[in-house]
Amino acid sequence: MRAPSGPLLAVGDILLAVENVSLSFGGVKAVSDVSFDIRKGEIRAIIGPNGAGKTSMLNVINGFYHPQQGRIMFKGEARASMRPHEAASGGIARTFQNVALFRGMTALDNIMAGRTLRMHSNFFWQMLRYGPAMREEAEHRRRVEEIIDFLKIQEIRRVPVGRLPYGLQKRVELGRALAMEPELLLLDEPMAGMNLEEKEDMSRFVLDANDYYGTTIALIEHDMGVVMDLSDRVVVLDHGIKIADGSPAEVKGNQAVIDAYLGVAH
């Protein structure tokens, strides 16, 4: 169907650039005039206090929200906005802050759903269980099993995800996003609500996904320790405005960031 298009990028090239994006709901400005870029192969963190506009930013990138101003450059192509399924077919996958899984389906089916865009067989052949269509299905299944092994969720593959504990749901959701073989993976608070051990596991999966699959990752996270350990570069938002951008060490020492987190009056 639609293969990811555009030029082949080398590691370190700009994969996605947010340029002067502003977004408001009614009179409320969620994001004002924010610019930053995400380079191929890196782990990019977006941090900031509550209400800083981080999730809004992610929603702009994957097409859930359409910015009033500014544009997004993705793989060298400019666009003001796109529909979510277009973003997905372009190679952007995401997870959600409050886990959005297909609750009635098993873990396996959830991750299989991530392969939707990569299935090409006509539904008619699939219904007839026709040879080539079945081989394609088997090939997708093999890739999904790889991801299941990677995330160490073999035991729960047949369990409807609604019954799984929260930490495992987050893992299945990551699996579904990885099954899309995205070029850019957006993670909205992948460690929210987890205990220390679960956080460590999840950090390991994020790092491994980045190493092993070479996936570029943009993540929102509140846990500063996690952010400092994982990310290559960090962008800091506060009240919808970008206040800092740089390596974890640079950002950590930035006075504006310290003020934002400690709540100095603006």
Q: Kindly state whether residue 24 participates in binding other proteins, applying the rule CB under 8 A.
A: no
Task: Give the whole-angstrom CA distance, residue 99 versus residue 43.
Answer: 21
> Number of residues in contact with other proteins, rule: CB under 8 A?
36
Nearer of residues 11 and 127 to other proteins, judged by Cβ:
127
The CB-of-117 to other proteins minimum distance in angstroms stands at 4
Question: Which of 19-27, 46-54, 113-121, 197-205 is the region at the interface with other proteins (rule: CB under 8 A)?
Answer: 113-121
Q: Kindly state whether residue 21 participates in binding other proteins, applying the rule CB under 8 A.
A: no
Name residue 74's beta-bridge partners: 16, 77
Long-range contacts of 70-74 (CB under 8 A, 24+ apart): 70/18, 70/19, 70/20, 70/21, 70/22, 70/33, 70/34, 70/35, 71/19, 71/20, 71/21, 72/16, 72/17, 72/18, 72/19, 72/21, 73/14, 73/16, 73/17, 73/19, 74/6, 74/15, 74/16, 74/184
The pattern of x and - marking residues 137 through 176 that bind other proteins according to CB under 8 A reads -----------------------x-xx-xx---------x
Q: Kindly state whether residue 130 participates in binding other proteins, applying the rule CB under 8 A.
A: no
- In the block, residue with structure tokens 């994982």: 230
What is the binding site for other proteins (CB under 8 A)? 62, 64, 83-85, 88-89, 93-94, 96, 100-105, 109, 112-114, 116-117, 119, 121, 123, 126-127, 129, 160, 162-163, 165-166, 176-177, 180
